[in-house]
Amino acid sequence: MLKLPIYLDHNATTPCDPRVVEAMVPYFTNAFGNAASRNHPFGWQAEEAVDYAREQVAKLVGADPKEIIFTSGATEADNLALKGVFEMYRNKGNHIITCSIEHKAVLDPCKHLEKEGAEVTYLKVTPEGLINLEELEAAFKPTTILVAIMYANNEIGTIMPIKEISTIARKKGVLVFSDATQAVGKVPVDVNKDGIDLMAFTAHKMYGPKGVGALYVRRKNPRVKVTAQIDGGGHERGMRSGTLNVPGIVGFGKACELCMQEMEQDAKRLGALRDKLETALLKLEEAYVNGSTQHRLPHVSNVSFKYVEGEGLMMGFNKDIAVSSGSACTSASLEPSYVLKALGLGDDLAHSSIRFGLGRYTTEEQIDYTINQVTNTVNRLRDMSPLWEMHKEGVDVSKVEFTHH
Amino acid sequence: MSYSEKVIDHYSNPKNVGTLDKSKTNVGTGLVGAPECGDVMRLQIEVDESTGLIKDAKFKTFGCGSAIASSSLATEWLKGKSVDDAVKIDNMDIVEELSLPPVKIHCSVLAEDAIKAAVNDYRKKNGLPELKFEASLVH
């Protein structure tokens, strides 16, 4: 029996794997010690658990455990990387290169740094959602201290050419920071093979708990330092003070270990389900995939259904299926997705987009149900869309003069 | 955001979806909004020339659930009204009836604008001067 509602919004967050929860439980009650308590068994036990988790986390991304700084999540890790590098290397320069489709957790700190005297270049992306390497190369200045490019995009799932990006940055002697929140645990990420110097990621996007994440900070070739943004005791090698979230960190470690073991088969299975979903939805007229289909996370699909509005569409099935939309109506700002607009999509197509994010517990039955529901709702809403009627009558809707309100 | 029951009802069972023959002189058509803004409403009225009452009203809307509900409700209210009374429908009446939250008030404004545009189209076709309306506050 199909259980409703169906969760297809795994880019927003994922459920905790029961095996993760099981690993965490003792650290709330019996093993509750403070990992910084050096003088009794409660502290030792907590420290040991954190050390083990640090190894599990490091292993998933090919890092040394000493290079993992635990934070409250990816947003904090992004802030620490950007602000911490800017403060630490300010005497070398003030220029940061990033791109227009980064997550707000990168864009907003960049805006903040601009007020502090940073100069930030926001690279444009191609209609596929990828940066142009020649444009990147041309953006470097003698004052450039950091290249900050996401590993994979949260809205469209496209994977950036990180290896090529870091090769260029290395040649220029500039550090590379990547927000890999959507990629770690889903596709193989290796900080050494990928040439990454700093990397943010978080547990709750990979079946771990919310409230814990990490910043990878390279220790050699080159040795990278960041100025702490939270002071108060010098935890995490002085880069992030504050009592460690031991149960969260233990859960994060377990989640990483499980991804290490299951990522390959999960990716294969979800890729096939995603392709089934996408192929079926593209059978609808005027349906388009947003972003590269070649360089993309296996579990993500972002589709625009022209002439129907995203929120109106979701309303047709959101009691039963949880997805998200780039439509303005779903955000407080009333602006459609800046990511989709950066791809060159018109506002009308951006308003018509739905993001499907599959996950570890997604079944074929759920996908079949989703195909059916989405197809029916698109057809139903098109029957009441004046734009669809115009399109069907052969009117070029883009040339119609509308009253802007 | 959760929707009111009335919005859900209009969205699930919209009243008066369809198209009237816009070449007829007793049919007025209003098309408002823009695809870039995320909503477009087309509202049509058909006037019984002997009584001056609106005998039919139809809509088609591209937009969120609240936009669809606002236009569906507007067509229900229009039927049986005189053309002069039709323009007295206030967007805040729609807001109240559908319990629209503040971020969705623009949907009701759009419905009010669509009514006015349809009435003016009808007046124009019938040699009457177009009514002037004060610009709506919420746009």
Whether A355 is covered by a domain: the verdict is yes
Inter-residue contact B75 to B118 (CB < 8 Å):
no
Whether A398 is covered by a domain: the verdict is no
Split into its structural domains, chain A has a count of 2
Sheet holding B53-62, edge to edge: B27-34, B39-48, B53-62
Structure tokens of B121?
């189209």
A354 and A246 assigned to the same domain: no
- Residue B5 has a CB neighbour count (10 Å cut-off) of 10
On the question of pLDDT at B61 being above 50, the answer is yes
**At B18, is the secondary structure helix, strand, or coil?**
coil
Inter-residue contact A288 to A378 (CB < 8 Å):
no
A39 and A182 assigned to the same domain: yes
A341 and A326 assigned to the same domain: yes
Q: Which of A258, A280, A306 is the last residue of a domain?
A: A258
Closest CA to A81 of A190, A218, A200: A200
On the question of pLDDT at B138 being above 60, the answer is no
Tens place of pLDDT for every residue, chain A, 405 residues? Answer: 899 999 999 999 999 999 999 999 999 999 999 999 999 999 999 999 999 999 999 999 999 999 999 999 999 999 999 999 999 999 999 999 999 999 999 999 999 999 999 999 999 999 999 999 999 999 999 999 999 999 999 999 999 999 999 999 999 999 999 999 999 999 999 999 999 999 999 999 999 999 999 999 999 999 999 999 999 999 999 999 999 999 999 999 999 999 999 999 999 999 999 999 999 999 999 999 999 999 999 999 999 999 999 999 999 999 999 999 887 655 555 678 999 999 999 888 899 999 999 999 999 999 999 999 999 999 999 999 999 999 999 999 988 888 755
Alpha carbon A308 to its chain's center: 27
Q: What single-letter amino acid sits at A225?
A: K
A213 and A356 assigned to the same domain: no
Question: In this structure, what CATH number is given to the domain that contains residue A284?
Answer: 3.90.1150.10
Whether A402 is covered by a domain: the verdict is no
Whether A208 is covered by a domain: the verdict is yes
A315 closest CB neighbour out of B14, B42, B65: B65
A254 and A269 assigned to the same domain: no
Ranges assigned E (strand) in A76-174: 95-99, 119-123, 144-148
Closest CA to B30 of B45, B52, B15: B45
Whether A88 is covered by a domain: the verdict is yes
Whether A213 is covered by a domain: the verdict is yes
Contacts 24+ apart (CB under 8 A), A193-198: A193/A62, A193/A163, A194/A162, A194/A163, A194/A166, A195/A162, A195/A163, A195/A166, A195/A167, A195/A169, A195/A170, A196/A162, A196/A166, A197/A222, A197/A224, A198/A81, A198/A85, A198/A224, A198/A226
ipTM: 0.93
CA distance A346 to chain B (A): 7
Q: Do B68 and A384 touch (CB under 8 A)?
A: yes
Q: Hey, what domains does chain B have and what are their CATH numbers?
A: 5-125 (3.90.1010.10)
Total beta-carbon pairs less than 8 A apart between chain A and chain B: 94
Whether A169 is covered by a domain: the verdict is yes
A279 and A239 assigned to the same domain: no
Q: Do A386 and B63 touch (CB under 8 A)?
A: no
Closest CA to A239 of A68, A48, A112: A68
- Residue A268 has a CB neighbour count (10 Å cut-off) of 11
Question: In this structure, what CATH number is given to the domain that contains residue A206?
Answer: 3.40.640.10
**At A364, is the secondary structure helix, strand, or coil?**
helix
Whether A364 is covered by a domain: the verdict is yes
CA distance B115 to chain A (A): 14
Range of the domain at A171: 18-258
Q: Does A207 touch chain B (CB under 8 A)?
A: no
Residues 6+ apart with CB under 8 A from A403: B31, B32, B33, B34, B113
Give A388's contacts in chain B (Cβ within 8 Å): 62
Closest CA to A351 of A295, A320, A397, A298: A397
Beta-ladder partners of A177: A148, A198
Identified catalytic residue from B12, B25, B34, B37: B37
Which residues between 320 and 359 in chain A have a beta carbon less than 8 angstroms from any beta carbon of chain B? 327-329, 332, 334, 336, 346-348, 351
A386 closest CB neighbour out of B8, B38, B60: B60
CA distance B100 to chain A (A): 13
A287 and A247 assigned to the same domain: no
Before A5, cis peptide (omega within 30)? Answer: yes
Q: How far apart are CA A83 and CA A68, in angstroms?
A: 18
Searching chain A, which residue's CA lies closest to the CA of residue B105? A329
CA distance A334 to chain B (A): 8
Searching chain B, which residue's CA lies closest to the CA of residue A315? B65
A237 and A274 assigned to the same domain: no
Q: Which of A258, A273, A292 is the last residue of a domain?
A: A258
A225 and A143 assigned to the same domain: yes
Q: Do B40 and A388 touch (CB under 8 A)?
A: no
Alpha carbon A73 to its chain's center: 12
Closest CA to A235 of A81, A31, A33, A35: A35
Q: Which of A230, A258, A286 is the last residue of a domain?
A: A258
Closest CA to B38 of B64, B12, B60: B64
Please tell me the pTM assigned to this model: 0.94
A254 and A270 assigned to the same domain: no
B61 closest CB neighbour out of A328, A334, A384: A384
Q: Give whole-number Cα distances, B54 to A118, B45, B76, in Å.
A: 63, 6, 11
Closest CA to B14 of A331, A53, A381: A381
Q: Do A347 and B35 touch (CB under 8 A)?
A: yes
A192 and A236 assigned to the same domain: yes
A247 and A315 assigned to the same domain: no
Q: Which of B62, B91, B98 to mutate to test the interface with A (most CBs of A within 10 A)?
A: B62
Q: Which of B3, B4, B39, B40 to mutate to test the interface with A (most CBs of A within 10 A)?
A: B40
B107 is catalytic: yes
